[in-house]
Structure 1
Amino acid sequence: MIKITTDSTCDLPVALRGENNITVVPLGIVKGERVYRDGVDIHPADIAAHVDAGGDITTTSAVNTADYHELFSNLLKEYDAVIHINLGAGFSSCHQNARIVAEELPGVYVVDSANLTVGIGELALRAARMAREGRAPEEIVAELESLRDRLEVSFVLDRLDYMKKGGRCNSVTAIGANLLKLHPCVEVIDGKMSVTKKYRGSIERVVTEYLHDRLDGRTDIDTERVWLVDTAFSPALADIAREVLRADGRFGTILEGKAGCTIFSHCGPNTLGIAFFHKKSID
């Protein structure tokens, strides 16, 4: 048997984790002088309350080698192999730490998702399906590495103060963007985050425009399913996005997830994104 593991940045709903026997390792979230476990003893609402009260933005801490060693060692007592799918190596040292441990433990395979949030989660779900089908670990890893190149993950931000507090944009940029009601669209490209467009107006209007930009006229989208993910505390944005996706009419399944503390720490509330695969190219 093969066990699939991933980290908390996957943003997979708890029900899907359970149905697919996926174990999620929490990243550390540093608030004040204490390190919390993402999704275990800290949640996005805790971060929002802290920041709204004037506190510094929380930061993230990678899973260390000792925790990976304990996890993988225990799982290998029950499973023939473990396939671990990490937050992209360009975003965290989690992947490097997991690989160090995998070199010491035969039977552990580590995959760099080169991605964020439900992009990681979708790869974990595909891995779990392949494991149930009885495919070999090496075959699953190779397929995951092929699939990640077909993933398209993007999101649009409502606020820039979290990025400013986290040092990812300067104060002048943040103030200017807020005054102009600018909302950057961020896309994961080659394992890195890139701003590909800036929208103007209310976030509700921007979400609709953003989704039409990502979907309309496209013939390269694998329409088996699409992911919708957000950091909003109100259902309003997800409701708007869901209707756009339904009206598009092409997707067989619309899956939804809530971004956890890792994404929230950098993007803040009312961030919304989608993820899907490109069609497999035919040589």
Structure 2
Amino acid sequence: MRKIAITADSNSGITREVAEREGVFIVPMLFTIDGKEYLEGISLNSQEFFLYQEQGRDIKSAQPTVGSVLELWDSLLKEYDEVVHIPMTKALSGSYDTALALSREYEGRVFVVDNQRISVTQKQSVWDARQLAEEGKSGREIRSILEASALESSIYLTVDTLSYLKKGGRITPAAAAIGDILNIRPVLQIQGGKIDAYSKVRGRKKSKQVLVEAIQKDMRERFGEAKKGKGIKLHAAYAGIPEEAAEWKRQLEEIFPGYIVDMDELSLNICTHVGKGALGIAVTCNL
């Protein structure tokens, strides 16, 4: 049986500590803050990130460096037969295209997945890939299975401030100003790698209600058949406020009895756009 290594970028939300414990491998996303480079989870943690963000620093995110990807793959292929690499969706980053180009130098030993996922749904793909490898699937087979199921996921997010959506050009300054005055908060949907506006509501309580209703609708309409064969996995996410995250997790477990709700901090790449206080919920059809 082939020995297969599973790799991903830190946009998955998998920390280096968790990766080491679970037997997977992570390359860090790159951030530039006021012209200085940082690596997520190595020289930049979430507490530092939110401090810089609140200070109004100039923050830009970028894909992992070519050197970090090649160094990891070269090291792993001394011990493993193949590598399956799961980058964040190519719709939101150049990570996939870069990794695919690099993989061609490895003569069929590195398989890059067109995952179309991000954050907690990308993380689930990593666990699915690990499971498939343990079942004896080849790198090529794992890539095929993951790509076939890439769209069997949804993420819904609500933000606590419109400042960073405005800064990233996703809403106009005028819309942000009116939204803040009227306490209007967007609910965003991430599906198939695209970030779209799902709804606009007034107040935090209502926005959380819309998140739940959106997931309930997906579970009922989009994933009804998939649930019979694979099962549904629920994920929750937050940005920078762990106390609120714990309460959010408790509420979701009451609303969805019988489901274990995983709670993760959103990756810093997403936090660049949504800011501290964002809350999310996601659903995937796991294998």
Structure 2-normalised TM-score? 0.89
Deviations 1:25-67 (A, max 9, x none): 10101100111001211123223222322333x1101123333
Mapped contact 1:13–1:257 kept (Cα < 8 A): no
Structure 1 segments unaligned to the other structure (5+ residues) = none
Mapped contact 2:215–2:283 kept (Cα < 8 A): no
Change (3 A) 1:42 1:125: same
- The counterpart of 1:240, out of the listed 224, 248, 251, is 248
Partner of 1:148: helix, strand, or coil?
coil
Q: Distance in 1 between matches of 2:22 and 2:130?
A: 6
The equivalent residue for 2:95 is: 94
Q: How does 1:73-112 map to 2 (within 5 A)?
A: 73-106=74-107, 107-112=109-114
Q: Distance in 2 between matches of 1:277 and 1:123?
A: 9
Partner of 1:236: helix, strand, or coil?
helix
- The counterpart of 2:195, out of the listed 188, 193, 196, is 193
More helix by share: 2
Mapped contact 1:152–1:278 kept (Cα < 8 A): no
Mapped contact 1:230–1:238 kept (Cα < 8 A): no
Q: Distance in 2 between matches of 1:6 and 1:217?
A: 27
Partner of 1:112: helix, strand, or coil?
coil
RMSD of aligned alpha carbons:
2.1
The equivalent residue for 1:29 is: 31
Change (3 A) 1:187 1:249: same
Mapped contact 1:186–1:197 kept (Cα < 8 A): yes
- The counterpart of 2:145, out of the listed 143, 146, 161, is 143
User: Is structure 2 residue 274 aligned with structure 1 residue 273?
Assistant: no
Instruction: Report the Cα offset of residue 204 of structure 1.
Output: 4.1
- The counterpart of 2:136, out of the listed 109, 134, 137, is 134
Mapped contact 1:39–1:260 kept (Cα < 8 A): no
Residue 272 of structure 2 aligns to which amino acid in structure 1?
S
Among the aligned pairs, what percent are the same residue? 23
Q: Distance in 2 between matches of 1:16 and 1:36?
A: 20
Deviates more, 1:62-71 or 1:128-137: 62-71
Structure 2 segments unaligned to the other structure (5+ residues) = none
The equivalent residue for 1:175 is: 177
- The counterpart of 1:229, out of the listed 218, 223, 237, is 237
Deviates more, 1:268-277 or 1:99-108: 268-277
Change (3 A) 1:132 1:110: same
The equivalent residue for 1:116 is: 118
Residue 171 of structure 2 aligns to which amino acid in structure 1?
C
Q: Where do 4+ consecutive residues of structure 1 move more than 4 Å?
A: 13-16
Q: Which has the higher contact order (CA 8 A, sep 6+)?
A: 1
Change (3 A) 1:217 1:71: closer
User: Is structure 2 residue 50 aligned with structure 1 residue 43?
Assistant: no
- How many residues were matched structurally? 277
The equivalent residue for 1:249 is: 257
Mapped contact 1:65–1:100 kept (Cα < 8 A): no
The equivalent residue for 2:266 is: 259
